[in-house]
Amino acid sequence: MHSSILFKLSLATAFASLSTAHTVLTTLFIDDVNQGDGTCIRMPKEGNVCTHPIAGGFESPDMACGRDGQQAVAFTCPAAAGSKLTFEFRMWADASQPGSIDPSHLGSTAIYLKSISSMSTDSAAGEGWFKIYAEGYDATARKWSTEKLIDNNGLLSINLPSGLPTGYYLVRSELVTLNNVTNDYVDPQFYVNCAQLFIQGVSGSLEVPSDKLVSIPGHVQPTHEGLSFNIWKDDPTITPYRVVGPEPFFPTADTSNMELSQNQTEGLIPTNCLLKNANWCGVEVPAYNDEATCWASSADCWAQLDACYKSAPPTGSRGCQIWEDQKCAVIQEACGAGRWQGGPLGAGQKLDVEVDQPVPGGVIPPAANADRLFGREASSST
Ligand SMILES: *[C@@H]1O[C@H](CO)[C@@H](O)[C@H](O)[C@H]1NC(C)=O
Ligand SMILES: *[C@@H]1O[C@H](CO)[C@@H](O)[C@H](O)[C@H]1NC(C)=O
């Protein structure tokens, strides 16, 4: 009796770890600057499935940008063409436990781009995608790309092509893992996420050769040899692994040709954010001088807090908690105590606190200042 309970418990634990040993893109860095957990990322909204592979097969629209990936998030991060992008992957979106992806999940990594005219109206699914980076098995290092990702604390860095025209882009990460591909069944797992970028690049329009341009869903033929590779049997040093999807296209340009032919108008992170949590930003409440305006400011604060919690992705709501404790609770207390004059105290001061989870291994000097919390603020948003 006792031992059977123990057995059931350990079985349950085994299943729990199976279901969470997957991965999700949580954080984007631009030239080593942390943009903030969840900021500019179209993350699945449900925490319990956010790390799961795409369900519904190769024809699912989720193949484009993952679950909930058809919906834009509020912020779009500015990045110069040619700049360094780093993608952080976690097994637990909120970093409540360490790890980037289960070591059994051997497979490839790839990065795609799609030029769009608007984040809110253009569809992620459909034509216009091209690959700028891919890695399958590194025969020199004798490692799969996902093993190198684990070695690098879940951080994957690439450079954006220098020859990208200025404009809005979706950048898409795709991990294809072969842990569930055997002689008996072929069930490759696709881990797909997107981030929203405004790329400051060259003038002109983007000309991608037609053989390098794909529609997603539709970029993967179910018969592609990269989907049926049996990691338990095939030796990638003998049978080279071929990554799925088109050949990469990497347009280069003389960077002296860079010009801002277009300024970012959508998805700007407001310069007056006092605190940011993923794609939410808290701004100063209206000034108050009497009982009525005090309570109105308090209500404004709590309404912002409500929006913060509602928008918080699975990376968490630490920023919301700080807003609640250090802003709303303080104002509410002041109103209740009759301190209605000259509020709020410290108006306009940024809440200079750590909202994001520490980066394992680190890609940036962890300076706790507003520049790090807010990333590069767009100069045109004032
Ligand atoms: C592995 O693939 C089979 C066949 O598609 C499926 O029934 C099973 O649930 C998969 N297992 C995991 C752990 O994904
Ligand atoms: C972009 O913004 C800058 C600074 O506000 C301005 O000088 C420039 O003319 C703008 N460019 C375009 C194409 O609107």
Pocket around ligand 1 at a 6 A CB cut-off: 180, 185, 187
Residue 180 Cα: closest atom of ligand 1? 1
Domains of the chain (ranges plus CATH)?
18-268+358-374 (2.70.50.70)
Distance CA 341, CA 358 (A): 39
Regions of the chain short of the pLDDT cut 50: 1-19, 365-382
What pLDDT sits at residue 75? 98
Pocket around ligand 2 at a 6 A CB cut-off: 260-263, 380
Is 264 in contact with 79 (CB distance < 8 Å)? Answer: no
Burial class (CB in 10 A: 0-12, 13-18, 19+), 236: middle
Q: Give the dihedral of Cα atoms 93, 98, 99, 104; nearest 10 deg.
A: -110
In 3D space, the residue among 102, 95, 151 whose CA is nearest the CA of residue 315 turns out to be 95
Ligand sitting nearest the alpha carbon of 265: 2
> Which of 202, 262, 263 gets mutated to test ligand 2 (max ligand atoms within 8 A of its CB)?
263
What pLDDT sits at residue 366? 39
- Cα-to-centroid distance, 58 and ligand 1 (Å): 15
- Cα-to-centroid distance, 36 and ligand 1 (Å): 34
- Cα-to-centroid distance, 379 and ligand 2 (Å): 10
What pLDDT sits at residue 377? 32
Residue 18 Cα: closest atom of ligand 1? 13
Handedness of CA 170, 198, 372, 133 (dihedral sign): positive
List alpha helices for the chain, DSSP H. 2-20, 62-65, 145-151, 225-228, 291-311, 318-323, 329-336, 370-374
Nearest CA to ligand 1 atom 14: 180
- Cα-to-centroid distance, 267 and ligand 2 (Å): 17
**Contact partners, residue 3, CB within 8 Å, separation at least 6:** none
What pLDDT sits at residue 257? 60
What pLDDT sits at residue 10? 38
Chain centroid to CA 233: 34
Crossing angle for the helix pair 291-311 and 329-336, nearest 10 degrees? 160
Nearest CA to ligand 2 atom 5: 380
What pLDDT sits at residue 92? 96
> Which of 104, 185, 186, 190 gets mutated to test ligand 1 (max ligand atoms within 8 A of its CB)?
185
Q: Give the dihedral of Cα atoms 45, 46, 49, 52; nearest 10 deg.
A: 0
Nearest CA to ligand 2 atom 7: 380
